[in-house]
Each structure stands twice: as C-alpha cells, then as structure tokens.
Structure 1
Amino acid sequence: MKPRSVPLLMAAALVVAACTAIPSGPSVIALPGSTKTFDQFRSDDHDCRQFALGQVGGVNSQQASNTAAVSSSAVGPSHSSDSGYGAQYQYDAAYIQCMYARGHRVPVYGQMLAAPPATPPANYKPYSPPPVPKGYAP
C-alpha cells in the first residue's frame, strides 16, 4: 500500500463514520398531556424513544439483548439516513408522532398568525391635531 493512500483511507473512514451517527435522544421537548400523570409521561417517553430509535435503524434494548443471546459477535446497526442531521430529523418526527398519539403535548411548527385587528366603533374619529397656522415657525 502506498504511504499516501493511508491518510486518504483514514479520512474517508472518518467521513463515513460521521455520517452515520445515531441520535442519542430527541432534540425537541414534549410535555405531559393534561390528563396524564408524570409516571405515565415517563413511561411513554421511554417507549417513544425506543420507537424513534428503531425508525432510524438503531436497536432498542430488547433487540440488543436478543442479538447478544443469539450471537457473541456484535454487528453495527444499519442506518437508513445518509447524514446525522437526517437521522435526527427522522428520530424527532417519529418521537413527536408517538408522543402525540399517546396524548402528550408536542411542538407544532408553522407560521404564527396574529388575530385580526379589532374594528373600531362606528362613531370613532381618530384624533388629528389642528393645522399649524401660516407664518408660525417653532
């Protein structure tokens, strides 16, 4: 192998490794639903994190224990996303969907619309100061 190709291979390996990062958790916040206890929220949060991890190609704790029991050699998880950002976006979307389906409050993205201005009463006349007299200089 040529001495010049070793650094190139190492750089390529780093780029590939950086592109396949599995999210460690959601980058969005969810709040307990109004009819949910905190314990229900914690349980649902755990379940939804596992669900979201499975959606981006990671393995949950149950799958990891099954794999360890079957095989002593570990094989890295496959990744359905081509970048860390894409994986995080997919993870967040799956997490939000899961938490919303279980009745919790989740962020909603979109444009904020202001309320239309109130209509003034029919007899309303805006104040306008009298005109300045001619030849008057302040």
Structure 2
Amino acid sequence: MKRFTRRAILSVSVLASLASLVGCVSAPTGPTIAIMPREGKSFEVFQQEDQQCREFAANAVKDTSSAALKEGATSAAIGAALGAAAGAVIRGGSSQNIGTGTGVGLLGGAAMGAMNSAGKQNQAQTQYNIAYQQCMYAKGNQVPSHAVPVANPSYR
C-alpha cells in the first residue's frame, strides 16, 4: 500500500475545500417576492408569464452570478498560496510549516472569499427580483408595493 505524504494529503484537502466553497455559490433559483395574477387572469396564463419572467430575470443576472463564483474560488486559492509562502518564510521552509501556513491561509482566504461572494450573491438576488418584478408588472400582474415614508411624522 502506498503511503501518502503530508503535502499530498494537504493538497487534496485544499482542493476539496475549494470545491466545497465553489459548490456553496450559486445563481438565484427563483424570485423571493410574491406576485399575484390580476383579477380575471387564468392561472395557466399566469404560470406561462411566470416562466417567461423567470427566464428573463435569470438572463439579467447571468454575469453577476458568475462573478460571485469566481470571487470565492479566487480568494481561497490566493489565501492558501500566501499562507504557504508565509509558512515557508517564517520557519525556514520545512514541509510541516508550509502545510500549517497553507491551512491557515486557506481558512482565511476561504472566509474572505465566502464573504465577498455572499455579497455578490445578495446583489444578484436583488437584481433578479427587480427584473422579475418589472417583467410581471409589464404583463399586468399585481406587484407588491412599498409604503412611501412620511417626511416628518407627527406623534402628537
């Protein structure tokens, strides 16, 4: 049976961690807002319009979702590389210190990548919802509205 070195095991764990980070980032799968059909519209027509507007919204955020995926993977990879370099410099290049530096760098890089990609994912979901809402509104459906804030509310 072949023995694996720490470096080989670490390399596999780094790749597995990057793969899991990439798996966490995804494009919006649907709207997070409720739209209702206008009065008198059949449910079948409403479903067709919903499908058309979902496709329209997905196309509107295609680039933003791809950016979130790349951001997370890139940050984790850079963090692991910088951690490995720091581990080698601090302790004179022993493989144990490189492994420790890589592990710490991977955790830090993955954390930063996750925060960056989460922000981009939230932005993508918001853009998706707006595009979906605009499309459904243009087709005559009922879109939720927000109350207009009062400039100087009186509490007398």
TM-score by length of 1: 0.55
Q: Rate the CA distance shift 1:110–1:31 in 2: closer, same or farther, 3 A.
A: same
Between structures 1 and 2, the one with greater helix share: 2
- The answer (yes or no) to whether the contact 1:56–1:81 under 8 Å persists in 2 is no
Structure 1 residues 5-44: aligned runs within 5 Å: 5-19=11-25, 21-34=26-39, 36-44=41-49
- Aligned-residue sequence identity (percent) comes to 37
Counterpart residue type for residue 55 of structure 2:
Q
Q: Which residue of 2 aligns with 1:55?
A: 60
- SS where residue 2 of structure 1 aligns? helix
Q: Does 1:95 align with 2:132?
A: yes
Change in CA separation of 1:13 and 1:107 when aligned onto 2, cut-off 3 Å: same
Q: What is aligned with 2:141?
A: 104
Q: Which runs of 5+ in 1 are unaligned?
A: 59-77, 118-138
Query: What do residues 27-84 of structure 1 show as CA deviations (whole Å, max 9, x unaligned)?
Result: 11001124633333222111101111222229xxxxxxxxxxxxxxxxxxx9444143
8 A contact 1:53–1:91 mirrored in 2: yes
SS of 2:9's partner is coil
Structure 1 contact 33–105 (Cα < 8 Å) conserved? yes
TM-score (norm 2): 0.50
RMSD (Å) for aligned C-alpha atoms: 3.0
- d(CA) in 1 for partners of 2:141 and 2:66? 27
Measured against aligned partners, the alpha-carbon deviations of 1:98-119 in whole angstroms (never above 9, x if no partner) come to 1111111112345554xx88xx
Give 1 or 2 for the bigger CA radius of gyration: 1
Deviation, 1:16, is 2.1
